[in-house]
Amino acid sequence: MGEFKLNAEHEDVLREIGNIGAGTAATALGQLLNRKVMINVPKVALLSMDELSSADFSINPQEISIIVASKILGALRGGMFVLFSHKSALTLIDILLERKIGSTELFNLTDASALTESSHILCGSYLNAVGEFLNLHHLIPAIPQTIVDRVNKLDQALLKRFVSQDVSYILPIENRMIISDIELNISVNFLLEYESVNKIVKLVGL
């Protein structure tokens, strides 16, 4: 099995894929919340799972974070997970449930359900956009699972609980989401088998 080494041109293509997904996700979340939503993508990478470390995420490695993960069903093999900083997760729950910002300090099952549903919409929007860009149709996220843990526990074993044991690469897409002037720190991450990464590389002509 080969390895993929990215140059600046490759990174631009991946960032464009991230921007397309973010635009679609912003529209979907804006309709859900009935608010203006903007998502910028300042950073995209493609990393081997063997190279993965907590430093690759834009969240403090010691911080308790919320992860919503699901398998990808369709032409790409692997999974996705949305990683929230603790503060961003609580803030989004306040927005989703129309609470005063700062009200949620610990979240219950209702809160977790709202966060999971919004993450499912986010993943579905990304997959729709990526599928359209790559001409890969019928990509959908499976029913998601939510866990709470420290970022530095996001090691290979933890991630693979949600996807196939053959996952070789992770594509982390940093999202800076602004909802009605409130900024959230979120990372949308694709976990892909080698053949799926190879398929993407060929489709975009890298």
Q: Which ranges constitute the DSSP H helices of 4-54?
A: 8-33
Question: What totals of helices (H) and strands (E) does the chain contain, helices first?
Answer: 5, 8
Q: Kindly report the number of other CB atoms within 10 A of residue 155's CB atom.
A: 12
Number of alpha carbons in the 13 Å side-chain half-sphere of residue 49: 22
pLDDT for the residue numbered 127 = 87
Q: What is the mean pLDDT of the segment spanning 170-188?
A: 86
SS3 24: helix
Instruction: Name, in order, each residue with C-beta under 8 angstroms of 32's C-beta and a sequence gap of 6 or more.
Output: 118, 121
Homologous superfamily of domain range 8-203: CheC-like (3.40.1550.10)
Alpha carbons 63 and 86: distance in angstroms, whole number: 7
Asked if 119 and 105 count as a contact pair (C-beta separation under 8 A), the reply is: no
Domain extents in the chain: 8-203
The DSSP secondary-structure symbol of 204 reads T
Quote the percentage of the chain above a pLDDT of 70: 82
Among 56, 84, 78, 64, which Cα is nearest to 172's? 56
* Mean pLDDT, residues 42-53: 74
What pTM was computed for the model?
0.82
Percent of the chain with pLDDT over 90: 10
pLDDT band per the 50, 70, 90 thresholds, residue 128: confident
